[in-house]
Amino acid sequence: MSDGQKSSGQAPATVCAPVGQPLLSLALTSMMDAVGAHSGAVYLRPGDEPLLEMAVTAGLPRSFVAPWERVGLSAPIPVAEAVRERRLVWVGGVEDMARRYPRIAVVLPYPFALAALPVLTETRVYGAVYVTWPGSHPPELSDRERQELTAACERLALRLERAASTNRSVRAETDVLDTGPLGGFADALGTLEAARMVARLPYGMCSIDVSGRVGFANEAASQLLGVPVGGLLGSQLWAAVPWLNDPLYEERYRAALLSHEATSFVALRPPSQWLSFRLYPDTTGISVRISRARAVSEMSPADPRSGDAPTRLVSMSQALSMAGALTETVSVQDVVGLVADEIAPAVGSQALALLGAHGGRLHVLGHHGYPDPHVVERFDRTPLSSPTPGAHAAAHGVPAFFDSRQDLERLYPARHATPDGFAAWAFLPLIASGRPVGACVLAYAEPHVFSTHERAVLTSLAGLIAQALDRALLYDVKHQLAHGLQAALLPHSLPSLPGIEATARYLPATRGMEIGGDFYDLVPSHPHAAAVIGDVQGHNVTAAGLMGQIRTAVRAYTTVGQEPAEVMRSTNRLLIDLGSDLFASCLYLRLDPARGRAVMARAGHPPPLLRRADGRVRVLDLAGGPLLGIDGSATYPTTEVELTEGCVLALYTDGLIETPGVDIEDAIADLGRRLGEAGDRPLAELADELVGHYAAADERMDDVALLLLRAREDG
């Protein structure tokens, strides 16, 4: 457990003279008092960065909320959401938290309610506040509580605004905890005789504050714990009693403080005595009742190794946060980045290598922290049968820990020839679903003794990494397959046609497998070339496969000399004969640049745009037939349009014009405006301009295909 007295948030750096009183602490504690909350925190936004930094906490140790000391404004947590949406965010209990904010629920799976509010004025966001109540709070926030919290945040925002206007800084402040002993336990009981009575009780009694420090302990507690009263007072219970230094017991302590509900656990005092601990929390700390636990007296686990009670390697909070983060990784590089940025620093490692096992060999998937990357990369494609610690860990599923270079070289003499500059190593097998997926190598700059506890923690973390890596490897294979299939089905390049300059762009949707049914093609047939663009519904392998069949069919019908209307009818019948449940839109053009004309047939596809040489743009809202694959007897009328020198035809799929909340006609008009303004540019630049907004988007709900054709003087 941490004493929670450290503070790390920083205020905006644009002001320099400090505020003369603990502004944030006073605002937070008065807010908590007004609504009966038992803990909370204030975040400040450093300048205009999209970030919130915790400036002060109250009521609970900072270690409880350590994963969220620095929060990106896009993070899926209540304080960030409150700032993004400029409103109060209410979480009514543990089920509500699990449903809406699962990463928080994984770290803090206890019954409590939470309200988060932005601290802002009309012109500036200064930060955010959250406060929490025990799980006994009603599932809804009362109107009075809502008004009190909103008013308090408005007052705090005005104070921060005044401080900024007078060039005074608001800095992080000391967290608000009861730092003294809970005692003078006699004072709490009222009389010295009452304290003597507690001291005479046959069971142990002690009190600890919210940071886990002991303020009172009777003699029975001392005897049961095996630690003198003087060794307990002022120390954290888990630090003073080494065999209580276990994540399970910390979890019970956290549960009691957060939920304000009595909780209990049973612990083994070596070598064989089981003790029962009952925790009774309130706003100032916890009273603990300790007694012998007869119910588990028959249990006799193996004796722990003497002297092997190390300090905590990672806290429960950190472990659960890392586990939650690993579940959100997608690609192999995501896993490598997370291990490098969060797990390796948490366990004190200065470098790491992530190795995959496939085809009887090791493959270097990623590494971090090695001064010379070739030291790691030379092990790529090492046989699993080779006498190296990484291969041995991956092949046999047994971790290996080397406290010094001498230990490593004694078992693996070949490492004399491959120094990596480090002095201690942990080689962790990565096992998922009972099969090896690789190994994780953690390197330490100094000799490092791996205790039993540390080995257990590292091995457990390796299990989490293995599960994440197994999913990521599968994702990367599917991703490569999808892109390979898409690349095979779309033309690698567009042919050169007399009198026609052409270019195309394709952007896959960013959801699903990033593969879809949008397609385009340019067919150099005689006597007239043809162009086609279409969209099979869906974003999966089925849609892509059907798209490939349609594209092949259109090429075949064009090559044998069918007219545009017949090409569309034949393709429609083919799609129906295939028995697919999917439909497709399509736009087909027979090009005749020598005559300055083009003949078009349309099947439910968005209308093309024509930019004339003088810069005017026209929407070619042509007559057409239904989507392909619906009606076997459908006909597709054709329309002849001009395609004189300098004209540009823009053919596109609906992904380029469909945006939530935007009318389709407005979107087409905007596309036409941009085509008119940039139409004189080189065709490749024009294509980049028309898809630029979509290419930069983090999320695309649909595929985007664009085919540009410009009539030019041949030769």
Q: What is the pLDDT of residues 108-161, one digit of tens each?
A: 778 899 999 999 998 899 999 999 998 889 989 999 999 999 999 999 999 999
pLDDT number for residue 242? 84
**Contact (CB, 8 A) for 95 and 111:** no
Q: What is the DSSP letter of 417?
A: G
**Contact (CB, 8 A) for 63 and 184:** no
**Contact (CB, 8 A) for 404 and 447:** yes
Between CA 386 and CA 467, with CA 395 as vertex, the angle to 5 degrees is: 135
**In the chain, how long is the greatest CA-to-CA distance?**
113
Beta strands in 156-240 (DSSP E): 168-169, 204-209, 214-217
- Quick one: pLDDT band at residue 628, thresholds 50, 70, 90? very high
pLDDT number for residue 19? 52
> Tens of pLDDT along 648-673?
999 999 888 887 778 888 889 999 99
pLDDT number for residue 121? 92
Q: What is the mean pLDDT of residues 424-445?
A: 89
Quick one: which H or E segment has residue 452?
helix 452-489
pLDDT number for residue 203? 81
Contact residues for 151 (Cβ-Cβ < 8 A; gap 6+): none
**Contact (CB, 8 A) for 3 and 236:** yes
Q: Which two structure tokens, joined as six digits, stand for 693?
A: 């907004």
Range with the largest mean pLDDT of 17-21, 203-207, 684-688:
684-688
> Tens of pLDDT along 489-505?
677 778 888 889 999 99
Q: To the nearest whole percent, how much of the chain has pLDDT over 90?
A: 32
CA dihedral 577, 578, 579, 580 (to 10 degrees): -130
- Quick one: pLDDT band at residue 72, thresholds 50, 70, 90? confident
pLDDT number for residue 650? 95
pLDDT number for residue 484? 64
With a cut of 50, say whether residue 351 has pLDDT above it.
yes
With a cut of 80, say whether residue 482 has pLDDT above it.
no
Higher pLDDT, 83 or 482: 83
Residue in 414, 302, 415, 430 with CA at minimum distance from that of residue 355: 430
Minimum mean pLDDT range among 12-26, 365-379, 572-586: 12-26
Q: To the nearest whole percent, how much of the chain has pLDDT over 70?
A: 82
**Contact (CB, 8 A) for 302 and 326:** no
Q: What is the mean pLDDT of residues 436-464?
A: 85
In angstroms, the Cα distances linking 332 to 359, 368, 475, 509 are: 18, 14, 8, 21
For residue 363, the SS3 value is: strand
Query: Would residue 603 be called left, alpha or beta, if left means φ above 0 and alpha means ψ between -120 and 50 degrees?
Result: beta
> Tens of pLDDT along 11-25?
343 334 455 568 898
pLDDT number for residue 411? 86
Give pTM, 2 decimals.
Answer: 0.45
Minimum mean pLDDT range among 350-359, 432-441, 557-566, 635-644: 432-441
Q: What is the mean pLDDT of residues 513-540?
A: 80
Q: How far apart are CA 45 and CA 706, in angstroms?
A: 42
- Quick one: pLDDT band at residue 294, thresholds 50, 70, 90? low
Q: Average pLDDT, whole number, for the chain? A: 81
Distance, CA of 141 to chain centre = 29
What are the backbone dihedrals phi and psi of residue 323, each rounded to the nearest 5 degrees, phi first? -60, -45
pLDDT number for residue 685? 93
Q: How far apart are CA 422 and CA 446, in angstroms?
A: 7
pLDDT number for residue 306? 35
Q: Which two structure tokens, joined as six digits, stand for 299?
A: 């249990």
- Quick one: pLDDT band at residue 347, thresholds 50, 70, 90? confident
Q: What is the DSSP letter of 340?
A: I
